[in-house]
Amino acid sequence: MKSAEKLLALAFLHLALSSLLCFAARADTRRRGNGRNQNQKARSGGNTWCIAKPSTENARLNININYSCSQSGVDCRPIQPGGICYRPKTIVSHASYAMNLFYKAAGKNTWNCHFNGTGITVSQDPSVGSCNYPM
């Protein structure tokens, strides 16, 4: 086997093992309950917010806004024209606000901010001016 083929095989093996470990951890969490006890909550979503990755395409950010704003417990009126979080009037800002509302409403677990790889959790408050991101 050539060295490039060996590296590719090792990379595939590493990816497969990582996937299995993630699946096993998720199954273990489900077996123990819904995973929302205080210790886990402190580890996964204490003082954190969910924001959009700035490099995300506008079409994907629109999908995130539409999805988040359609969920129970998410009020996107602040990012509508005239709303307190309408400015800055950028899609990244609006998507970040909506995604954070969903993240909070869904339980602030790390997977609640995934958004198909377009969300990221941060520990620094992303609030801007009078637009306060709920924690």
Residue 38 lies in a domain: no
pTM for the predicted model, two decimal places: 0.67
The structural domain count of the chain equals 2
Domain-embedded: residue 41: no
Alpha-carbon distance of 66 to 134, in angstroms, equals 19
- Is the pLDDT reported for residue 102 higher than 70? yes
| Same domain, yes or no: 28 and 90 | no
- pLDDT tens-place string over residues 44-88: 557 999 999 999 999 999 999 999 999 999 999 999 999 999 999
Is 51 in the same domain as 111? yes
pLDDT band at 3 (very low <50, low <70, confident <90, very high): low
CB 110 within 8 A of CB 35: no
Nearest to 114 by CA among 53, 47, 30: 53
Q: Distance between alpha carbon 29 and the CA centroid of its chain, in Å? A: 19
Residue range of the domain that includes 88: 46-135
Q: Which CATH number do you get for residue 111?
A: 1.20.58.1040
Domain contains 93: yes
Q: Judge whether 9 lies within some domain.
A: yes
94 and 130 fall within a common domain: yes
Q: Burial of 7 by CB count in 10 Å (0-12 exposed, 13-18 middle, 19+ buried)? A: exposed
Tell whether 109 and 54 lie within a shared domain. yes
pLDDT value at residue 2: 64
Same domain, 25 and 69: no
Q: How far apart are CA 53 and CA 22, in angstroms?
A: 23
Residue 105 lies in a domain: yes
**Is residue 18 over pLDDT 70?**
no
Shared-domain flag, residues 106 and 68: yes
